[in-house]
Amino acid sequence: MALEIKGMTRSFRFKKGTEYITLQDPDPNISPDMVMNYYSNMYPELTTATVHGPVIREDMTE
């Protein structure tokens, strides 16, 4: 029986008001801080946010 190695997919989640927004990883080679900077034009509240985690759920890191 052969083993199959899979990489984990990253996603980024933050709370906006009363709901959670999940953002896809734009580039797995950049740091979480760079991802936050990437999305800060669409979500200005990310400019003052801090990164926590990762949290592993099933086969994805958040």
pLDDT digits (tens, 9 = 90+) for 4-50: 887 888 999 999 999 999 999 999 999 999 999 999 999 999 999 99
- Say if 42 falls within a structural domain: yes
Number of residues assigned to the chain? 62
- Say if 16 falls within a structural domain: yes
Question: What does pTM read for this prediction?
Answer: 0.76
- Say if 43 falls within a structural domain: yes
- Say if 1 falls within a structural domain: no
User: Residue 25's domain spans which residues?
Assistant: 9-61
- Say if 4 falls within a structural domain: no
Structurally, the chain folds into a number of domains equal to 1
